Amino acid sequence: MKYDFSKPLTDDQLEVVRWVQENGDDVTKASEHFDLDPADIFKWTIQDYELTREPLMKEGTQNMTEELLAQINTLYEHEVNLNKIWEDFQKAQFLN
């Protein structure tokens, strides 16, 4: 799914995103913690990961180092985890 990342995240949204990132990328727990829509939290978190990774990928086309590759891979792992949690949540919602 494509999202529009043209609007920067607000400080409040970034606070939620940081909480998600520090708590296993679990948007459902963040939703309960902040009383916000998990779909919004998912979008904000994906936006942060994508926009953080983008310049790293550009830099990597010029000079890929082991450290840079590790940073990119870490972000990718977080995105995969976030997507898995989101998909499981959506399936559970569909079954209920």
d(CA 51, CA 8): 10
What global pTM score does this model have?
A: 0.90
pLDDT at 3 over 90: no
Q: How far apart are the first and last CA of the chain?
A: 23
Which spans in 23-65 are helix H? 27-34, 38-63
d(CA 39, CA 20): 13
pLDDT of residue 69: 95
Using an 8 Å Cβ cutoff, are 56 and 75 in contact?
Answer: yes
pLDDT at 53 over 80: yes
Mean predicted confidence (pLDDT) in 54-81: 94
pLDDT of residue 96: 67
pLDDT of residue 4: 85
